[in-house]
Amino acid sequence: MKCKITCIPGDGIGPEIVAEAKKVLCKVAEKYGHEMQFKDILMGGASIDVHGVPLTDEAIEDCKNADAVLMGSIGGNTSTSPWYKLPPERRPEAGLLKLRKALNLFANLRPAYLYEELAAACPLKEEISKAGFDMMIMRELTGGLYFGERKTVEENGVRKAIDTLTYDENEIRRIAIKGFEIARKRRNKVTSVDKANVLDSSRLWRAVVNEVAKDYPDVTLEHMLVDNCAMQLVKDPAQFDVILTENMFGDILSDEASMVTGSIGMLSSASLNDSKFGLYEPSHGSAPDIAGMDIANPIATILSASMMLRYSFNLDKEADAIDQAVKKVLEDGIRTVDIMSEGMKQVGCKEMGDRIVERI
């Protein structure tokens, strides 16, 4: 198979971790008889430095012309970088929001999996972590509060800020369908998270999810209020399979879930549209303080590349090979600094990529 991939190295550690993911993908292509075609483009601060904007129209077209997009990370230090002295619409993160909208990437998948080899890094009590957990957070990505109308006004001498949370039933239905479909590939359980005791948008969310559930009688559905879900993630994470939720709740809950794994440097993500097309990126940020030091953990980006093979190219065997290679590296005691523990062998970003390649 020929895989046409647009790569966005981005800012900070982005170029380093994307380079290792490419290395792994090339090894997979060599072993299984595929062809990887990569094209690098600029986005975020790197694009601002060259083009004055975080994302150009040409870059969007390059993404649209690919089969999938692999991204590193974007942004910099918000307190010192000149990028954050620009208007909000010209800052690095604005490019990512624009790209998600342009590519209609409405479904964000963020797995949170506790590797047995990293259980000691889990901040939860041992009696909780020993049960392990393996969940997928399905976050609606292009609607809700982050994309609603917003303004700041002054009324009677008092400043007032307004943010609007809006969802229509079609936006809810399409993410719900994705959630149930993913559950069928896993353990056939969906936990739909909302705030239906307070918000009209959540009451509509719950109603539409119930309607979609009728088409998936083999999938168990439960509803959970977002505050309860936040508590349950640290009390009993093993209970979750697929967590289905709206944009802001998903943003918060997925970060919480990532940290109970012990390191956000281990967690991949995918953002999908109605087709097989997706944008794949690590869940962590650009870590500008360690950029260029060869100490970043590339595993989240490598696992994102695995998700790309699985969801955009239907190459499950090849994705499994990457996942197993990562697991074998951990079993062999090889660690980057963020997951390092006593008795393990510490390696840098490039060497971690090499070690994973050796095990494919």
- Positions marked catalytic: 146, 195, 227, 251, 255
98-134: string of b/e by CB count within 10 Å (b at 16+)? bbbeebbbbbbbbbbbbbebbeebbebeeebbeeebe
**Contact indicator for 303, 266 with CB cutoff of 8 Å:** yes
148-176: string of b/e by CB count within 10 Å (b at 16+)? eeeeeeeeeeeeeeeeebebeeebbebbb
**Contact indicator for 286, 46 with CB cutoff of 8 Å:** no
The H-assigned helical ranges of the chain are 14-32, 45-51, 57-64, 92-102, 126-129, 169-184, 200-213, 226-235, 247-259, 299-311, 316-331, 349-358
| Token digits of residue 55 | 């994302």
DSSP state, 277?
-
**Contact indicator for 273, 105 with CB cutoff of 8 Å:** yes
